[in-house]
Homo-oligomer: A and B are copies of this chain.
Amino acid sequence: MTTFSVAEIAARCGGRVSGDGELRVAGVRALDRAGLSDLSFAADAKSERKAVASRAGALLVRSAAAFPGRTVIEVADPQGALAAVLLLFHPRRVPCGGVHPTAVVGPGASIDPSAEIGPYAVIGQGTRVGAGAIVEAHAAVGRDCELGEGAWLHPHVVLYDRTAVGARAEIHSGSVLGADGFGYAPSPGGIVKVPQVGRVVIEDDVEIGANTCVDRATLEETRVSAGTKIDDLVMIGHNCSIGRHSILCGQVGLAGSTTVGDGVILGGQVGVAGHLRIGNGVKAGAQSGIDGDVPDGEAIWGSPHMHHRLALRVAAELRRLPDTARAVRELIARGKKVEDGENR
């Protein structure tokens, strides 16, 4: 098992050691599970209280002051430092260059020798796989697709024809990129399918969770821009464009032709109607139902959505609505009594 000294770990995450820098650390564990050879971490006041009681040999914390006599690494941002430290212990999987003998590679496909193609993967004709890319077991890559340098398809990912996945993008199992968008035209004989002949483009450093669907455009592109992170079971309709460094939580659904800006955060199960423009930096609370354009920087919540602050007040009043309604009925009854008295 590889171990690192506290000093090495501090160097990796830009932290300051207080205590025994020579202490060997074997791994990173949760506060309540860590032992003497483990590092743990506390990013907020609540965790810091738990950290005091933790048996962790070393701690990644905001300040050493609360931990007299303990070996700690001080960092401004323990959460960010944790990412760096975990990467030290668990580096990203290195591709074993080569094509598994059971993989089926179509004619004219070009696979960089440093890329790894796993068992039973299928690579369509004309597809290009970049240096250091990983295509795991059973991934099905269509024709004329493009995988950038270091792109990583987990087992059972499906790419329909002409899908592009950028450098270092990571797509988790079961996700389907490029299936037909949901486009139909009514006709006297029933519903007629509008062929979906565009494609899907996933830019660099995007991560997509498991069993998520990004549908191909009707004519042009459905695009997820660089650095954006998408969780499990999300659906992105055809012709959508998602900006850079945005976060789409689990089970979010976007109908077609909607544009989402940069730095947007959509909470879990948020639904967004079609043909909308969600501005840069928008934050939408979980289960919001967005049925209109949202200006840059707005915080929203509710279904249908409203300003987040208003939504909080509405939610509070909703619980009182039966009381409020009863009060109204009493006011009406009293008013009637007064009027009856006057009219008598």
Footprint of B on A, CB under 8 Å?
Answer: 28-30, 33, 77, 79-80, 82-83, 86-87, 89-90, 92, 102, 104, 118-120, 122, 136-138, 140, 142, 154-156, 158, 160, 170, 172-174, 176, 179-180, 182, 184-187, 190-195, 197, 205, 207, 209-211, 213, 215, 219-220, 227, 229, 231-233, 235, 237, 244-245, 247, 249-251, 253, 255, 268-269, 271, 273, 286-287, 289, 291, 302-304, 306, 310, 313-322, 324-325, 327-328, 331-332, 334-335
Query: Which residues of B have CB within 8 Å of A324?
Result: 324-325, 328
Query: Which residues of B have CB within 8 Å of A87?
Result: 195
Query: Which residues of B have CB within 8 Å of A89?
Result: 197
What is the oligomeric copy number?
A: 3
B334 touches A335 (CB 8 A): yes
Closest to A232 in B: B213
Question: With A and B bound together, what is the CA distance between A89 and B197 in angstroms?
Answer: 9
For the complex with contacts A120-B138, A210-B215, 12 further pairs of A-B residues with Cβ separation under 8 Å are A77-B185, A90-B195, A119-B122, A120-B122, A154-B160, A156-B156, A179-B232, A251-B271, A255-B286, A268-B273, A320-B325, A327-B328
A271 touches B247 (CB 8 A): no
Q: In angstroms, how far is the closest chain B Cβ from the Cβ of A64?
A: 21
